[in-house]
């Protein structure tokens, strides 16, 4: 379990294909604090640390993860957002995040407001799925974008906007995002359960 509060970023140092999987070597200041089998969020995707070296570590993403997230598009030198799993005595500074990406979205615009930034995102609505089972956002609700817990506004059925403060901009890969880039989305788990329960009464 995670909270969507990014601890640090890492740089992709190497990518190795193993069948349909990809193994990533990540360089990060967090490396010295990691251990094998530890869960770590990468752009919002929970992956297991498989090895640790001096200043770097490796994780493997299976085909299902690569299909559902933006990890398959990573290149050497790309920056990824990192968060270790929440400790039992920690604080929920963000919101409940599982590290299970629901789908991706495209960044449609970035506005620099000279003190904050507005990011607009659009995502595909699966019309083959009944409305009560589709991913949705709600005004002032929570969303996890590339592992970052954020508050939604201008919520519409297939798009939304978030505001980014300078600290988040400087300490996550939001500073690298531009229009046309793909991001990972994890919708609020509480909202998903409530929606599912209510659908059962219809």
Residue 182 lies in a domain: yes
* End residue of a domain, out of 84, 118, 139: 84
Cα–Cα distance for residue pair 93/38, rounded to 1 Å: 21
Averaged confidence pLDDT in the chain: 92
Are 12 and 64 within one domain?
Answer: yes
Kind plus residue range of the DSSP H or E element containing 60: strand 56-61
Are 124 and 79 within one domain?
Answer: no
Residue percentage of the chain with pLDDT more than 70: 96
Residue 3 lies in a domain: no
Cα–Cα distance for residue pair 42/177, rounded to 1 Å: 16
Confidence of residue 96 (pLDDT cuts 50, 70, 90): confident
The answer for residues whose C-beta is within 8 angstroms of residue 131's C-beta and 6 or more apart is: none
Q: What is the pTM of this model?
A: 0.91
- Reading the block at residue 114, the tokens are 């000279």
Residue 153 lies in a domain: yes
**Nearest by Cα to 107 from 185, 186, 34:** 185
Q: Would the pLDDT of 88 be above 90?
A: no
With b for 16 or more beta-carbon neighbours within 10 A and e for fewer, the 87-98 pattern comes to eeeeeeebbbbe
Residue 90 lies in a domain: no
Residue-level pLDDT at 194: 78
Residue 95 lies in a domain: no
**Nearest by Cα to 135 from 154, 119, 159:** 159
Mean pLDDT in residue range 46-73: 96
Phi-psi sector, 196: left (phi>0), alpha (psi -120 to 50), beta: alpha
Are 80 and 120 within one domain?
Answer: no
- Give tens-digit pLDDT for 150-173: 999 999 999 999 999 999 999 999
Give the count of domains, the chain. 2
Confidence of residue 95 (pLDDT cuts 50, 70, 90): confident
Domain that holds residue 57: 8-84
Mean pLDDT in residue range 50-69: 96
Residue 94 lies in a domain: no
- Give tens-digit pLDDT for 175-201: 999 999 999 999 988 877 777 777 766
CATH number for the domain including 45? 2.40.30.20
- Give tens-digit pLDDT for 14-27: 999 999 999 999 99
Are 68 and 120 within one domain?
Answer: no
Residue-level pLDDT at 202: 58
Are 112 and 183 within one domain?
Answer: yes
Confidence of residue 86 (pLDDT cuts 50, 70, 90): confident
Are 149 and 80 within one domain?
Answer: no
Are 20 and 80 within one domain?
Answer: yes
Residue 1 lies in a domain: no
Mean pLDDT in residue range 130-146: 88
CB 46 within 8 A of CB 98: yes
Residue-level pLDDT at 195: 74
Backbone angles phi, psi at 58, to 5 degrees: -125, 150
Kind plus residue range of the DSSP H or E element containing 168: helix 166-171
Are 53 and 116 within one domain?
Answer: no
Residue-level pLDDT at 200: 66
Residue 50 lies in a domain: yes
């Amino acid at each position: 379990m995670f909270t969507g509060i990014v601890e640090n970023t890492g740089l992709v140092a190497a990518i190795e294909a193993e069948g349909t999987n990809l193994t990533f070597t990540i360089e990060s200041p967090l490396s010295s604090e990691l251990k094998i089998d530890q869960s770590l969020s990468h752009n919002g995707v929970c992956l297991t640390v498989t090895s640790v070296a001096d200043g770097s570590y490796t994780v493997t993403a299976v085909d299902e993860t690569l299909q559902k997230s933006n990890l398959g598009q990573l290149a050497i030198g790309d920056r990824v957002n990192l968060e270790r799993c929440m400790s039992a005595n920690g604080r929920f500074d963000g919101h409940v995040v599982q590290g299970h990406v629901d789908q991706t979205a495209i960044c449609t615009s970035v506005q620099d407001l000279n003190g904050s930034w507005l990011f607009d995102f659009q995502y595909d609505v699966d019309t083959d799925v009944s409305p009560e089972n589709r991913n949705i956002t709600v005004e002032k609700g929570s969303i996890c974008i590339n592992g970052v817990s954020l508050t939604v506004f201008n919520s519409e059925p297939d798009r939304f906007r978030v505001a980014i403060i300078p600290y988040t901009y400087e300490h996550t890969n939001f500073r690298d995002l531009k229009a046309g880039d793909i991001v990972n989305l994890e919708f609020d788990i509480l909202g998903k359960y409530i929606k599912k329960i209510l659908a059962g009464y219809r």
